Structure 1
């Protein structure tokens, strides 16, 4: 019985440690997306607003643009218009549309318009 009690206690401590280290869900995402200035579309090289951030101020209206650095893992639309995002570099393989204030933190983007 000692082995089971140790495993249960160790498991509970491990879960608690992960929760403390990771912090509340969404906290990092909200903090990072707030770095995106109003009127910009912002890209991060990795998912969940991590890695390097690139910003586009008042983007040209719906011209196909390749994401700097080949692709982005997170996108935040802080512009006043909706934008379409694509899997390829020529805006041919549609992924999704982000309305103003929307974000995507999990799908790789290569171009947008």
Structure 2
């Protein structure tokens, strides 16, 4: 003769537990291969509006020795998802990466949601 278990499942608690697990896996932020604000790895990303709004312009595998104009003039939001620290020059001067031109430095993984950038270099 088979013995029956005297414990009965509480269907309400079981449903609540399953619901909580589903919520955790669906609602929790998902980690992706992309970095901050969706900027891909080894890329510096520029937006033409503050707070990462409007179109994103990617600069993959940036070369550290050059002084370049930002891909959008002026860039208003930047994510540095490269492996190097970069200087982002905030005034429109010649030469654009000159020593007298003020800049903001962003280390790898850093971002700035509201600035004005005309040029950048390592």
TM-score range, shorter chain: 0.5 to 0.7
The offset of 1:69, in angstroms, is 2.5
Residues paired across the two proteins, number: 82
Structure 1: how far apart are the matches of 2:113 and 2:37? 14
Equivalent residue, structure 2, for 1:43: 46
Regions of 4+ moved over 3 Å: none
2:39 partner SS: coil
1:48 partner SS: helix
Unaligned runs of 5+ in 2: 1-34
Equivalent residue, structure 1, for 2:112: 104
Please give the per-residue CA displacement for 1:43-78, whole angstroms capped at 9, x wherever unaligned: 000000001110011101131000123111100000
Kindly indicate whether the alpha-carbon contact (under 8 Å) linking 1:33 and 1:49 is maintained by their aligned counterparts in 2: no
Structure 1: how far apart are the matches of 2:72 and 2:47? 10
Unaligned runs of 5+ in 1: 1-31
Equivalent residue, structure 2, for 1:13: none
Kindly indicate whether the alpha-carbon contact (under 8 Å) linking 1:42 and 1:75 is maintained by their aligned counterparts in 2: yes
What is the RMSD of the two structures over their aligned residues, measured on CA atoms? Answer: 1.6
Kindly indicate whether the alpha-carbon contact (under 8 Å) linking 2:75 and 2:118 is maintained by their aligned counterparts in 1: yes
Structure ID, larger Rg: 2
